[in-house]
Structure 1
Amino acid sequence: MASCLKAIWNQRFLGVVCGAAQLLCFSVLISELTNQKEVSAWTYNYSAKAYSWNYSRAFCQKYFTDLVAIQNKNEIAHLNDVIPYHSSYYWIGIRKINDQWTWVGTKKTLTKEAENWADHEPNNKRNNQDCVEIYIKSESAAGKWNDEPCWKRKRALCYTASCQDTSCSQQGECIETIGSYRCSCYPGFYGPECEHVRECGELDLPRHVLANCSHPLGNFSVSSQCSFRCAEGFRLDGPSRLECSASGNWTEMPPQCVAVQCPPLKTPERGRLTCLPSAKAFQSWSSCRFSCEEGFVLVGPEVVQCTGSGAWTAPAPACQAVQCQRLEAPDKGTMNCVHPLAAFGYGSSCTFGCQAGYRARGSGTLRCVGSGQWTAPPPACEAITCEPLQRPAHGTMACSPSSGVFQHSTNCSFHCAEGFVLRGADLLQCTDTGQWTAPPPVCQVITCTRPLSPRNGTMTCDQPLEDSDYRSTCHFSCDEGFSLSGPERLDCTPSGLWTSSPPTCEAIKCPELLAPEQGSLDCSDVRGKFTVGATSHFSCDEGFQLEGTGTLQCVAPGRWSAPPPACRGLSWVPTPEVRCPALLTPGQGSMSCRHHLGNFGLNTTCHFGCHAGFTLLGDKILRCRPSGRWTAVTPECRAVKCSELHSEQPVLMNCSNPWGNFSFGSTCTFHCPEGQLLNDSAETTCRESGHWSAPMPACQAGPLTIQQALAYFGGAVASTTGLAVVGTLLALLRRRCRQKDDGKCPLNPHSHLGTYGVFTNAAFDPTP
């Protein structure tokens, strides 16, 4: 036994304990050593037989601490030096858990820095190699690691921990080292065994501060805590508790005790506050008095005091507005009130308005004053009327409603006979102020200023109406060698303006010519540069030869007799001529082009415009680019749009739309069912301005009165034949009235028909 102990002791000295075959010897050694003295060191052990990884770990945990945990390169070198070689090598405490290499003793993932794999490892065979062995005394990879299947048999390499429960005074972490351990002290502790604790020092407390402290680790040291309070009449200003931190410093400075104060008082809105001794301190026994501005009364105590406990004797009062009598909206009227303080209280303001057709009699705004009274009595609403209107000469007037009172919201529309234009608003409305929206209009004869005949051209005009220029037409043409710039025809419109500006006759021009490179250009032109009849001569500089026609002549309709020539040297290579696609004049529009290098050649510029009643959609100017493309697509002329008409029952509407629905030139006619008549014009046309010539009519039921007959024939059949029919109708009525002569004849000069008047022309003779 003595020899066994000596051998084991020698192995122990080297850091290796006898294997499993010598467990009896090992146990005796431990007991003898225990009788001598406690040994505190990290020791390594291995089994004499080979086991699977799981069995090897169970073996180490039963007889020692666990499979060895490699901590650094020095430890690997030490193991490789003292552990004997074995062909199956040794299991260590690393295996794959959740696809991560993990130290089983600490359950920590293996870091990249701690890896010690042999070349081409781990998982070189890719067949569930989840456990790790260490090559002890390997010739090619001594001390390196390799992953193997866990079922393989290898020796178990174990360790016995040197750290004990009492290590590091239980005030630090015990860290194993080869043959020993070291202490990593917790915050607040220091010393080789973490046996010392840091101190913060006794607190220097301000006056009136009372403290209660606890010291679990020593007076005023780490984890010591102190709570604070103040003597009666004082309050704590600062932290109520301090603790001695691990750094040896208190968490904060000690608090102070300051005299108790009452909460600050606010001056009531619309009031005043006066305090003694100060309006800022609000200390114990302070006294504050409240009062209100004019128009307000105090709700609450007039005086409050600050007690020793820091509370006021009563809540602060408020200033409440004085109340006025509640108001109601007048009959046929409205009321809108603003209450900045309270409903119908001091400062409230009420504004009164009346419904359509009524106006206020009395003050429109009342205000509640400090006495609790309104500034005036509430107003009343009375009906509104406008001044009577007369129909214009050569025109008609239709009003709705047709009661003849011209009350508020009455609408009156006006129309003129053919050849006359309405000057003023075509619709008047009686507003809520008792005024018409505009002065009454008049029917003015249409006169278009006769245009001038263009220079180098002629003009012929036709006037179908003798007493008006309306529908007059003028046609224009140019002399030979000139072209018309502008419309060929002008029409006198109902607005008294021609459909466009008069055209001009401009000399027909050919595209501008440029001198060829390395050459010159000489032109003779009696009318102007590059007009019809002009002759241009080309020549080249010395050393260059003219390619093409040397003399070009401008011929109608504005083109050169041949393409411009060029000056070429001996090595000249022709280049393709740039041409853009030919352009077409847009419908209802005009196009004017300047061809610089032949028809639609490079830099050709084309200008576009539209006839009256049409607008241009697209670019106004296009230019031919070197790429053979225009700068934009050809624009279009689109008819001007009028607002869409919607016929309401029972009015029947029929429209013709030559350029699109409800666009320029569209004409709509209106009809009523049998027994009803239109109250306005039976036809309306969309003008070039985008407005209809007449508003939408409505159908009226009942017999045909003289006024309606005049309005109907004047607005719907305003022609020579229509006027004759009206004249005949009026003559018959007048003759019948003379036979009856009861003073109620509608054509009696004293009757209301005189308000409307009648049409007169050569075909109408009122004499019976």
Structure 2
Amino acid sequence: MTAEGEHQVNTKCQMDAGAKRNIMSFADLCEVVQDNDLKMKLSKVIGYDDKGIIVSPDDSTSASFCYTLPLISHLTESRQGQTDPSDVEMLQPTAPLSSAVLSKLENHCDCGKLPVLDNGSPDDKFISQNSIDVGQRVTYRCYPGYVFKEGSSRYITCKADSTWSPLNTACEPRNCGNPGEILNGYFNATSTTFGEQVTFYCDAGYRIVGRAYRICDRTGWDGQIPTCEPVECHRPGLIANAQIISGFGPIYKYQETIAYRCLEGFEMIGNSVIKCGENNVFVPPPPKCIPPVRCPQPELIANGQTISGFKATYGYRETITYACTDGYEMVGSNVIECSENNVFVPPPPMCQPPVTCADLPLISKGITPSPPNGNYWEYGMIAQYSCHNGNSLIGAETLVCTENGEWDKDPPTCKVVRCIRPESFLNGQIVAGFGPIYRYRHTITFRCNKGFEMVGKSVIECHENSTFVPPPPTCRPPANCGNPRKILNGYYNTSGTTIGSKAVFSCHKGYKVVGRSFQFCTTSGWNGRVPTCEIVRCHLPELPANGKIVAGFGPMYKYRDTITYSCNEGYEMIGNRIIECTENKAFVPSPPTCKPFTGCQRPDQLANGHIVTGFGPSYKHRETITYSCNEGYEMYGSDVIECSENNIFVPPPPTCRTFIKTWGKNVTLCRTR
């Protein structure tokens, strides 16, 4: 432990050899110690020993010290800011240093880890440094593709208290700006910042030449702006047995056309007119001219018939429509068409017997269904089972014959099923299915009494093992009342909706609560009635003596309705001329009063001052006088006074006094001896 008033110094800057002392700038030390406005920058260098005593590193007789001056008063204006250290009597040095000063000096040689900058870093020369000295400036840089935010600072400084100055900057993605306009085209871009891609497109009738996109990199937009050239189509090759009748080319612009015609004795397959498309090709493709198409009549289909297209021979794209005889199913298309190869496409269909399912097995104590036509079960037919009286059907009641000739479900069974009505249902009742004996799949429907909530399903069903599924529900007091009812022209606040919670109702401004303003959540729900919100009404106040109403004659007033007053001739109004009906059913402010008018008289002349506005000599209620002091004097009191209802000025007139400057402040100066 050290003696009282002394403090052990323990800093990162202490040297190992006792003969050497830590060195720092005297100006830096004073910067830490001083807390006043009168600072002096000295160039000498000082150190401190292991007891915190400030000494010179080379000659203690010429050391620099920090001194504390006593209260300085009556410092003239001419000497302010020009005080010479030699004019100040040297006092005792400020050593040993205080704990507060030592704590500030504790880490003065190293500000620690550099602050992190998103998308940036300190310059390379600072990254490898283990420590940064007080006063040293560190500059930052942004990563490629990022730039400093406009107007921000790119550096920080290690301050005297071993903390970094704020890093007031940010690295933002570089903005590459407009990627370039493209004639007869356009571009789409979600953003133009670093890493984003812009895509170029051409208008209809033009095609893109060059790479269709550009990317914003660290130097700007990469690549070149593409161009949009007009679409051009070359004339297709000659068509056998055809001739062009319009659009002779040989080069065609976008949407220009060629019209064809077949030579006599040939038929056209395709479109007679083709158009130059956006991909430099004609659409649709050119037609063909072939000898006349003749498809012979196909053979009749077995178990079917032709219902349209009765001809011996058929031309190009003429059709035949078929149908199958009753009891047969068509395999293939019911319409075929004569193609350019003189054959029908697709080929004629076939009519086959329908898909059938096997006969159904007999079931005990039940009735097995038979096919509707009495022969076989066809695809899509439905078989429905039933049981003899006293038996219940277990399983699927209906089966369907599927397309692969199999039934979709297994046949059911018939057995005796009897369920007994459950025991008494507490806090509830049965509303459907009273029993007391229930057959298979018969149901019971339950309902809870008012104020109780159901746990379980409200409907249960008798199953094949003669038990109800699911089990009967129970009724318990509600754990939650839900939201209270809404209130017209008002609202409610509630601590919750569980039992014991309270809902408090309030009305909007201009309305008042009628009825009890709260409800509690009970086992029966929210208790009591929801209040109502009625509009606020005010009664006509008494007419002020020597006054009258000029607007708002009542006698009843709604919320925010107003009354406007005036005083009779020879009287002046004390208060507000307009009052308003408030939410408390009272007018605010109170009605005014009308008093005989006498007025205020101008006060005595202001010594060392004068009137600026309001020269009088007599003043009505609320009229004012404004004062100003002469040069070299300052005002005590308000510069504006007002004629009050008591015919005197409020506040009283001010006074003007001589201006005196004083100085009185503890300061700390640095001095060399």
Q: TM-score range by the shorter chain?
A: under 0.3
Could you tell me the TM-score, scaled by structure 1's length? 0.23
Q: Between Structure 1 and Structure 2, which shows a larger proportion of helix residues?
A: 1
Q: Between Structure 1 and Structure 2, which shows a larger proportion of strand residues?
A: 2
Could you tell me the TM-score, scaled by structure 2's length? 0.25
